[in-house]
Structures are given as C-alpha cells and as structure tokens.
C-alpha cells in the first residue's frame, strides 16, 4: 500500500514565473525508508513541506497529494498533527517549551490526551531514546544533537505513521549525526514507521534506504535502490554523484567489479580484495607535506576566558590560538564544546573577560567597526538569515556596496563598478536565476551562498566562517572549496568551524579539535585525520590499513591508480 502519492504536483512562489515543483510524481510505500536527494534549490524541502499542510509555503499549486488514498487537503488538522511527524533542519526552530519533559508532552497535550496516556507516552519515549538522564533539564542546556533527538522523540510520542525529516543532521557533529541517523533507522526497522528523509550527508543513511529519489529542477529525475542510483548518477550526473558515499565514489572511480560497496565496512572488504588482485599497488604510502600560510600571524588569541553570565560556567577556558597569514585553519569538535562561542570572540561579537585577541598584531578591540568589518574581517555566521535585510537577493547584494557613501569601499564609487562587482559575485556563488527571489524563500544551501556573496563583496583580508557547507550539495561544496582555495591563493586568511570533516580534510591546511572550551590537539590536516580512529573521514576508516595518510576519496583513488 502507498502511504503517500504525489500526483503531477506543481508549485510556484508568489510573483514568480518559475515553478519550484514542476509536475512532480512520487509514490511512497508504507513501512519503507526513503531518501530524497538533489542539488541545493532543487525543491526537496518545498516538496516535504507540502506533505503537511500546516507547513506548506504560500504560493500557486496544481495537482494533488494523497495520504493513505485520501486527498491531503481534505485530511483534517488533527489527523495530520498526529499521524504525520515532521523534524526540521534547525533544532531550535521546533522547540516550543522550556523543559525537556514538557517538550515531550506538548504535542500530546495539544491533541487533548488524558494525563495517564501522556505520562505513559512520555516515559516510553524517554526510555526508548535514552533521554531519561536529562529528562528534567532546561532545553537551553542541551547540545544541538540532544535538541534534535528531543524533537524526534516529541514527534514520535504521537505515534505517527509517517515521519518526515528535512536535513535533520545539518547542524550536528559527525558522531551526533551518526547516532541520530541510527535512531531513525531503528524507528523504521523496529516500529515500522514510514520515513521520508532529505539529506546531503548520505554516508550513514543511504545504504539502508529502500528507495532513493533524485530531484532536479522540481522533478524526480531518477529513482531506485541505493546501488542503482549510485551507478546511474556516475554515468548521468557527475555533480550529484559527489554526494554519494565515499565507498561508492571510489568503487566507480577505479571501475571496480562486483557489487558496489555502500558502507565503510563493505568498502574495506572490497578494497582488501582489490589490493590483493593488484599486487603492483604500493601500500603504506608516506604522507605528503600539507601547504600552509606564512609563519606571520594574522590572528593571535592568548589565554582567552569567556562565560555568558557572571555565575555560569566558563564556555571558553584558557584558549590560545594562532592563525597564520594565508592559512586555511579549520576547527572541528562536538556540539556544545564552545566552537561557536570562540567564533563570536574572534569576530568581536562577544568579548573575553580575560585574555587578548590580536588581528595583524593589533588589539582587536582597538579597531573601529567600519575599519574592522569593511575590507579587513569578513564574518559568515552559522545562520545565514541573520545577515538578510532586504526583499530580494539582488537588493541584498546591492545593500552591501550601494548604501551611504561613508559605508562604501572606494572601489565601488561608480555605478559601473558596482554592477560589475555584483555580476562577478553572482557568477562566483552561482546565484543566477535567484536574483528576484526573497532570501527566505531560498533553500538552505542557496542562503549560505547568498550570505557568502555578501561577505565577499566587502573584500575581507581574513574570512571567518561558521558551518559554511551546511545545506550544500556535494557539487557546490566542491565549488565552494575551489573558491576558498582561490581566495587563499590571493593571500586571504581563512578560519572555519565545521562538522563537515570530509570538506575539511580536502581543503584545510591545519585542523584543531575543540573540547571542553579549548583546543586539545591541532596538526596539519593529514596527520590530524590519520591519527584519529573515530573523528576521521570515511575514506581514512576504509583505507587506513593500506594507505594510512589517505584521508579523502581522491587520495584513495590516487593510491589505487598508483599515482603517488
């Protein structure tokens, strides 16, 4: 039986001639785990929101969506609330109460369940999801991973038939993301809940999907089992193929034979057979030196201490950090360890109560705002919406360089130079076709690109970024990596906080691991990931037995092709 049927469905935002969903057709069988993937802006999130009418965006629609054989538009609000669960991308956007236990009970209370049923359901969910240890905590005390798990538990307390998840791990660290997706698999396997999931981080979940659907331009372009879709994308869409799990990419890159590995475990077994069948491949490859910037510091932080309230615990503790000119430095670590707080200190949003930060040898506090943020320090925050002020993408870009003259860089004084700068930035960040859209109507990845474009128009010498790859597809991550390396080649210093360790492994020069308010270890990128068993890349976990310093899929392919 099909639990969801999307019948020739179309959708366009108001005042837009282009359809975000264009004659979309899709059937979801009951009890299955389904993944919808595609480039940023292809319509994935818009499609999911239309599966619950309370969340559907405003605009022009055509066609029909059926839920259990009945039109979704005719399905009453209570039935949808109880039977269709939805977990959003940002954990904070879904939490509505102050305590963990109250959040678990909120949906049931809203549906009018009696106290005995509510207590039973809440206890059941707290035990099933392992929440009992922080059951009475304030929601504000939870990490990002705990908040997202709480959102999932609160939804599952209503015993939905259909669970929809829109990029649920985009703000989680790799270990928390793996745990969360493992829970989703368990829900589908043990309870039989139908799952529809959009995800750019396919490494952990794609091998367990019953069906994978690839979207492009508002339509389903390809569907099938994970293996079928992986092989199809390799032949038909090289850009989307970059989002496939690393074992799939390596297998196809060397034209492997037999069954394509989907998991790291399968990849390790296949790799062992491949190396055995090709004895000419040298194993134990030595590490190649990683390039970095000069020894001259761009940012120096010494003995930093910070807490949000006078009587609260320190979030940053005795932190010292040096980022050299022209270097690409990445900071990784779990949710709630203090990385984003450190970002706020380096960007002067917050001030440490002890310690000093120097930018190009000068105390960060001595800079005037105009001097600091226009042409010196570029700041890309974790939430791109925090930098949006206008009604269209084009207006957002012009707002950076077309305001009052005292706020403009001298390079942008003429209208011709403004237009040329905007045109170049639109091309660089691939915003063509989006200029008349409202920034809030963009996908998560498109919003990240717009925020980056605004920051780069200020021509900073140092670029600070907090989770810049969040919501981006594999193809644009590669584009972003090339952009950052190009900026670095022109002398820009880059500091990035990220949970995307695959991206960090490919593009960063030096990596630091943040834990308990401080950097516990830092090293060049190859030494760092090769030295970790858990906090490392899928490629390294798959191939380290043969190629210890291969940390990306490209590294492994190069070793297998005997290019080193």
Does some domain include residue 248? no
> Does 476 score more than 90 pLDDT?
no
What does the pLDDT read at residue 144?
Answer: 77
Residues 6+ apart with CB under 8 A from 356: 301, 302, 303, 363
Question: Range of 105's domain?
Answer: 2-216
Does some domain include residue 34? yes
pLDDT digits (tens, 9 = 90+) for 297-309: 999 999 999 998 8
Does some domain include residue 92? yes
Number of domains in the chain: 1
Does some domain include residue 535? no
Across the chain, mean pLDDT equals 88
The answer to whether the beta carbons of residues 169 and 443 sit under 8 Å apart is no
What does the pLDDT read at residue 289?
Answer: 54
What does the pLDDT read at residue 451?
Answer: 93
> Does 254 score more than 60 pLDDT?
yes
pLDDT digits (tens, 9 = 90+) for 117-156: 999 999 999 998 888 888 998 988 887 778 889 999 999 9
> Does 481 score more than 70 pLDDT?
yes
The answer to whether the beta carbons of residues 236 and 223 sit under 8 Å apart is no
pLDDT digits (tens, 9 = 90+) for 445-469: 888 889 999 999 999 999 999 989 8
Does some domain include residue 356? no
What does the pLDDT read at residue 514?
Answer: 93
Residue 563: which pLDDT band, with cuts at 50, 70 and 90?
low
Residues of the chain with pLDDT > 70: what percent? 95
CATH of the domain at 42: 3.40.50.300
Per-residue burial over 194-218, b = 16 or more CB atoms within 10 Å of its CB, e = otherwise: bbbbbbbbbbbbbbbbbbbbbbeeb
What does the pLDDT read at residue 415?
Answer: 67
More confident of the two residues 394 and 471 = 394
Does some domain include residue 332? no
Tokens in use for 427? 């091309």
Least reliable range by pLDDT among 317-321, 373-377, 415-419: 415-419
> Does 564 score more than 50 pLDDT?
no
What does the pLDDT read at residue 287?
Answer: 60
Residues 6+ apart with CB under 8 A from 11: 19, 20, 21, 43, 46, 50, 57, 59, 60, 61, 62, 218
Q: Which residues pair with 494 in a beta bridge?
A: 328, 463
């Amino acid at each position: 039986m099909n639990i969801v049927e999307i019948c020739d469905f179309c959708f366009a935002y108001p005042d837009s001639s282009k359809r975000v969903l264009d004659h979309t057709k899709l059937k979801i069988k009951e009890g299955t785990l389904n993944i919808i993937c595609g480039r940023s802006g292809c319509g994935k999130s818009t499609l999911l929101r239309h599966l619950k009418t309370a969340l559907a965006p405003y605009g022009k629609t055509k066609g029909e969506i059926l839920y259990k054989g009945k039109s979704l538009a005719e399905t009453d609000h209570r039935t949808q609330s109880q039977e269709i669960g939805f977990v959003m991308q940002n954990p904070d956007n879904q939490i509505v109460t102050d305590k963990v236990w109250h959040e678990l009970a909120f949906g049931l209370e809203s549906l009018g369940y009696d106290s005995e049923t509510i207590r039973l359901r809440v206890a059941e969910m707290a035990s099933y999801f392992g929440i009992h240890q922080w059951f009475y905590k304030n929601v504000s005390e939870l990490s990002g991973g705990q908040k997202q798990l709480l959102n999932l538990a609160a939804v599952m307390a209503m015993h939905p038939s259909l669970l929809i998840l829109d990029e649920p791990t985009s703000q989680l660290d790799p270990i928390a993301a793996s745990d969360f997706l493992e829970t989703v698999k368990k829900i589908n396997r043990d309870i039989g809940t139908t799952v529809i999931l959009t995800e750019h981080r396919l490494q952990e979940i794609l091998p367990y999907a019953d069906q994978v659907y690839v979207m492009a331009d508002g339509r389903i372009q390809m569907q099938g089992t994970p293996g079928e879709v992986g092989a199809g994308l390799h032949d038909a869409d090289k850009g989307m193929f970059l989002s496939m799990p690393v074992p799939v990419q390596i297998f196809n890159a060397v034209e492997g034979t037999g069954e394509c590995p989907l998991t790291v475990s399968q990849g390790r077994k296949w790799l062992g057979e491949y190396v055995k069948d090709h004895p000419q491949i040298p194993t134990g490859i030595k590490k190649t030196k990683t390039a970095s910037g000069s020894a001259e510091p761009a940012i120096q932080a010494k003995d930093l201490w910070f807490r949000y309230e006078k009587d609260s615990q320190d979030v940053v503790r005795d932190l010292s950090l040096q980022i050299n000119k022209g270097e690409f430095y990445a900071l990784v670590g779990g949710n709630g360890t203090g990385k984003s707080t450190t970002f706020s200190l380096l960007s002067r949003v917050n001030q440490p109560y002890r310690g000093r930060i120097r930018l190009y040898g000068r105390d960060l506090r001595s800079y005037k705002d105009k001097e600091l943020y226009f042409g010196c320090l570029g700041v890309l925050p974790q939430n791109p919406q925090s930098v949006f002020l206008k009604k269209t993408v084009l207006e957002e870009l012009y707002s950076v360089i077309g305001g009052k003259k005292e706020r403009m860089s001298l390079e942008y004084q003429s209208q011709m130079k403004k237009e040329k700068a905007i045109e170049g930035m639109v091309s660089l960040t691939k915003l063509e076709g989006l200029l008349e859209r409202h920034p809030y109507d963009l996908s998560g990845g498109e919003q990240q690109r717009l925020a980056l474009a605004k920051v780069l128009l200020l021509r900073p010498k140092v670029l600070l970024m907090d989770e810049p790859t969040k919501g981006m597809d594999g193809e644009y991550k590669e584009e972003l990596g090339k952009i950052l390396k190009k900026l670095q080649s022109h002398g820009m210093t880059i500091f990035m906080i990220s949970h995307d360790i695959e991206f960090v492994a490919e593009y960063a020069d030096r990596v630091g691991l943040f834990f308990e308010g401080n950097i516990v270890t830092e090293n060049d990128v190859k030494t760092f990931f090769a030295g970790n068993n858990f906090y490392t890349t899928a490629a390294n976990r798959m191939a380290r037995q043969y190629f210890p310093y291969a940390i990306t899929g490209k590294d492994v392919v190069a070793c297998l092709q005997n290019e080193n």
